[in-house]
Amino acid sequence: MTTYFKYYFGLLLIILLSPLNSFSQTTILLDDSTELHDIGKQTYYLEDTSLKLSIEEIINSTLETKYKEYTQETINFSSTASAYWLKFRITKTIPGDFYLNVGSAFIDSISLYEFDDKNQLISTRHTGDDLPFNTREIEVGNYLFALDFDVNNTRTFYLRVKSDQPLFFPLRVGTLPNFLNYEHDLDFLQGIYFGFMLLIFLYNLFLYFSTREKIYLYYIAYVFSITWFMASVFGYFFEYFWPNTPFINQIVVVSSGLTMITATLFTQKFLNTKESGSMMHKGSMVFLIIGILICALVLLGFKIEGLKLSQGGLLIMASYFLILGIRFKLKGYRPAKYYLLAWGALIIGICFAILESLNLTFVMTYLNAMQIGSALEVLLLSFALGDRINMYKKQKEDAQLEALLAAKENERLIQEQNVILEKKVKERTAEVAIRNEELVNLNKEKDMLVNIVAHDLRTPLSHIRLLIQLIDVTSLDLTKDQVSYLTEIDNSADRLSQMIGRILNIHALETNRVKLKNQIIDLVELVNYVVRCFRLTAEDKEIKMITTSQPGDHFVEVDKNYMIQVLENLVSNAVKFSERGSEVILHVKSQDARTYVVVEDQGPGISKEDQKKLFGRFQRLSAQPTEGEASIGLGLSIVKKYIESMDGEIHCESELGIGTKFIISFDSKDHLEKIES
């Protein structure tokens, strides 16, 4: 009996310690070709935290004992940086083309090792979204591996999976028609989802181009970021857009960061948080920073950290935006109703997806919870945007109605004012007519007065001067004072006669009674004549008269008598306003088809303010004649009118303390015209 005991005890130890104890694992039977079968509960798993275990080490007897039995139908290792090895045995009991299905397109690395019943390695297959799409045995979104061995044979498989995204997937076996039926149903439902998201995207893109409002741009960016993430989860973008560029798959989690960024920008614009409250706006800015941080972590290679931050960040962000929506709804902001429902739907989807990834709930077969939540959210947000448009449209219509009523009221007031204004205009027109008639009468009286001056004053003055000239002062026994008085009487009569003459000249100019007798003359000769006339007057004040001229001819077409008066007036003023011992210079020149005469003195000069009123009638300037000579303020106004009537120009250049220049110009003429006096 002792011998039997030793025999059985030794046999038990051999069975327990032998590497062949794996045969005690449940064997998966391929005995049904009509349905897909989940094999999660019939597998064993081993965590590889070092990521360095090889297949040779895995089949070593020391690691065989560390395998744990998996207890759920769907494989779910949550978000992890480890690699996992799955071990299972399959026996084919009926003929047929069976396949192993790893039901996720979102796994970075997959390696399948097949061993026969003698524990010899038969085949090794490698794929995953870190490799080009054409490395898959059958080019579909999920991974299919052919179970190509004979009936009544058993194979042991080691499946290594590694992903920087949540690692959960169904593990199934079945025939190719079974999988095609499943893919057909999957693509149908996914087509509805992505078609809906595309419709929302294009519709709001059209609205953006129509309205150019940034809120639509933020919204379509948000829809795109969600769609990018979901399409990457199911492998559609990889399959159809970049099948030979698997690197892009490694940064898919960036779309989660972009989702947070665009959702925050959309919420800030939709709820107008910047205007409504600084604290709410600053709170939302945190999620912008988190979104940027997620993108940075993923791009720098910290994919698991970025993924975990995005899971928590999205849940907190959705909750915060839900609170914001409640607050704005309580404030009476009508579109916040749909906004609340939208974020509520997304929160439910996010929570379910997180529970799903943490292996705390079942895994959905065809659509995941995030897809359902995001579809409901974008639909409700579209309703919210539409309600916002309707609200603003109503506000615009109310404002337009208000503006219309205000315009009608303004029109009524304008009509009343027009009536009042018309009445006042008629009254003012009558007043103006009366005043105009009075002015016409005054003008007639002025003309009458000028005629009186011309005929009734000039004749007696002429007689007075004639009588004084007839008196023989030398033959009369007159005192020195009496001679002085007679001389003063003659000078006064002369000045008065000149004054009357100037007034008559102005009257003639204003009434267009001046008849010019223009002729072509030599301006140099005319200047020399005037200078000779003033030489004695200049000598009395010890003023030197200088005339200069540019070589050549200086012919102009003017009225000779009026031109003499112009020059006499300017020279007279130059002498009056010059100090003793100074110079008065007259210079004649021609250039650019114009002939100029410049009258220059060394007097006190004319200020800028006085130059503005220099050619006005009866103007008194700040500068005065140096020796008290008389001036009635009419000379320069007459000069300007004479020159302009002869198509000439005159202007003044002066500096205080230096002197003044009067510059007259006319069109130059080529030859001298001979006209008899």
Q: Which of 124-128, 371-375, 600-604 has the lowest mean pLDDT?
A: 371-375
Is residue 566 very low, low, confident or very high in pLDDT (cuts 50, 70, 90)?
confident
Give me the phi and psi of 584, to 5 degrees please.
-120, 125
Cα-Cα-Cα-Cα torsion 221, 224, 229, 232, nearest 10 degrees, comes to -140
Q: What is the pLDDT of residue 596?
A: 93
Residue 336 in contact with residue 271, Cβ under 8 Å?
A: yes
* pLDDT(498) > 70: no
Tokens of 205: 């893109």
Q: What is the pLDDT of residue 110?
A: 94
Q: What is the pLDDT of residue 620?
A: 64
Residue 589 bridge partners (DSSP): 596
Is residue 493 very low, low, confident or very high in pLDDT (cuts 50, 70, 90)?
confident
Q: How does the average pLDDT of the chain come out, rounded?
A: 81
Cα gap 85→123, rounded to integer Å: 16
Is residue 569 very low, low, confident or very high in pLDDT (cuts 50, 70, 90)?
confident
The residue among 416 and 623 whose pLDDT is bigger is: 416
Q: What is the pLDDT of residue 631?
A: 57
Q: Which element (helix H / strand E) includes 123?
A: strand 121-127
Residue 227 in contact with residue 252, Cβ under 8 Å?
A: no
Q: Is 545 helix (H, G, I), strand (E, B) or coil?
A: strand
Q: What is the pLDDT of residue 451?
A: 65
Q: Is 101 helix (H, G, I), strand (E, B) or coil?
A: strand
Q: At a CB cut-off of 8 Å and minimum separation 6, what does 269 contact?
A: 214, 215, 218
What is the sign of the dihedral through the CA atoms of 221, 226, 230 and 235? positive
Cα gap 281→319, rounded to integer Å: 15
Count of CB atoms within 10 A of residue 125's CB?
A: 17
Residue 493 in contact with residue 646, Cβ under 8 Å?
A: no
Cα gap 438→263, rounded to integer Å: 81
Least Cα distance to 662 among 640, 630, 646 occurs for 640
Residue 127 in contact with residue 135, Cβ under 8 Å?
A: yes
> Which amino acid is present at 537?
T
Q: What is the pLDDT of residue 513?
A: 63
Residue 622 in contact with residue 607, Cβ under 8 Å?
A: yes
Residue 574 in contact with residue 537, Cβ under 8 Å?
A: no
Task: For the chain, give the percent of residues with pLDDT over 70.
Answer: 85
Count of CB atoms within 10 A of residue 490's CB?
A: 16
Count of CB atoms within 10 A of residue 294's CB?
A: 28
Mean pLDDT value across residues 572-585: 87
**Block residue for tokens 């003359």:** 521
What is the sign of the dihedral through the CA atoms of 396, 400, 406 and 410? positive
Residue 186 in contact with residue 366, Cβ under 8 Å?
A: yes
Tokens of 414: 């304008």
Q: What is the pLDDT of residue 674?
A: 45
Count of CB atoms within 10 A of residue 408's CB?
A: 10
Q: At what angle do helices 480-510 and 635-645 cross, to 10 degrees?
A: 40
Largest CA distance in the chain: 199
Tokens of 104: 């996720």
Is residue 600 very low, low, confident or very high in pLDDT (cuts 50, 70, 90)?
very high
The residue among 100 and 207 whose pLDDT is bigger is: 100
pLDDT digits (tens, 9 = 90+) for 161-217: 998 877 888 899 999 888 888 888 888 888 888 888 888 888 888 888 887 888 888
Mean pLDDT value across residues 108-121: 92
Q: What is the pLDDT of residue 172?
A: 92
Mean pLDDT value across residues 510-535: 82
Cα gap 522→527, rounded to integer Å: 9
DSSP result, 374-421: HHHHHHHHHHHHHHHHHHHHHHHHHHHHHHHHHHHHHHHHHHHHHHHH
Q: What is the pLDDT of residue 618?
A: 58
* pLDDT(550) > 70: yes
Residue 409 in contact with residue 268, Cβ under 8 Å?
A: no
Distance of CA 45 to the CA centre of its chain: 60
Residue 368 in contact with residue 233, Cβ under 8 Å?
A: yes
**Block residue for tokens 């004012």:** 417
* pLDDT(21) > 60: no
Cα gap 1→52, rounded to integer Å: 50
Least Cα distance to 266 among 310, 204, 197 occurs for 204
Cα gap 606→551, rounded to integer Å: 31
Q: Which of 98-102, 265-269, 556-560, 580-584 has the lowest mean pLDDT?
A: 265-269
- Pick 514-669's CATH classification: 3.20.20.140, 3.50.30.60, 3.40.50.2300, 3.30.565.10: 3.30.565.10
Cα gap 348→338, rounded to integer Å: 15
Q: At a CB cut-off of 8 Å and minimum separation 6, what does 259 contact?
A: 222, 225, 226, 229, 291, 314
Q: What is the pLDDT of residue 12?
A: 41
* pLDDT(100) > 90: yes
Residue 276 bridge partners (DSSP): none
* pLDDT(19) > 50: no
Q: What is the pLDDT of residue 628?
A: 65
Q: At a CB cut-off of 8 Å and minimum separation 6, what does 429 contact?
A: none
Tokens of 250: 């490694």
* pLDDT(314) > 90: no
Q: What is the pLDDT of residue 602?
A: 86
State the burial class of residue 549 (Cβ atoms within 10 Å of its Cβ: 0-12, 13-18, 19+): middle
Residue 545 bridge partners (DSSP): 584
Cα gap 207→308, rounded to integer Å: 35
Three-state secondary structure readout of 573-641: HHHHCCCCCCEEEEEEEEECCEEEEEEEECCCCCCHHHHHCCCCCCCCCCCCCCCCCCCCCCHHHHHHH
Q: What is the pLDDT of residue 274?
A: 78
Three-state secondary structure readout of 223-261: HHHHHHHHHHHCCHHHHHCCCCCHHHHHHCCHHHHHHHH
Mean pLDDT value across residues 516-526: 87
Cα gap 436→124, rounded to integer Å: 117
Global pTM reads: 0.53
pLDDT digits (tens, 9 = 90+) for 215-263: 888 888 888 888 888 888 888 888 888 889 888 888 888 888 898 898 8
Is residue 22 very low, low, confident or very high in pLDDT (cuts 50, 70, 90)?
very low
* pLDDT(334) > 90: no
* pLDDT(112) > 50: yes
Q: Is 550 helix (H, G, I), strand (E, B) or coil?
A: coil
Q: What is the pLDDT of residue 7?
A: 37
Residue 603 in contact with residue 660, Cβ under 8 Å?
A: yes
> Which amino acid is present at 107?
I
- Pick 20-175's CATH classification: 2.60.40.2380, 2.170.190.11, 3.40.50.300, 3.50.50.60: 2.60.40.2380
Mean pLDDT value across residues 12-34: 59
Q: At a CB cut-off of 8 Å and minimum separation 6, what does 9 contact?
A: none
Least Cα distance to 630 among 550, 671, 565, 575 occurs for 575
Cα gap 533→543, rounded to integer Å: 14
Q: Which of 45-59, 82-96, 460-474 has the lowest mean pLDDT?
A: 460-474
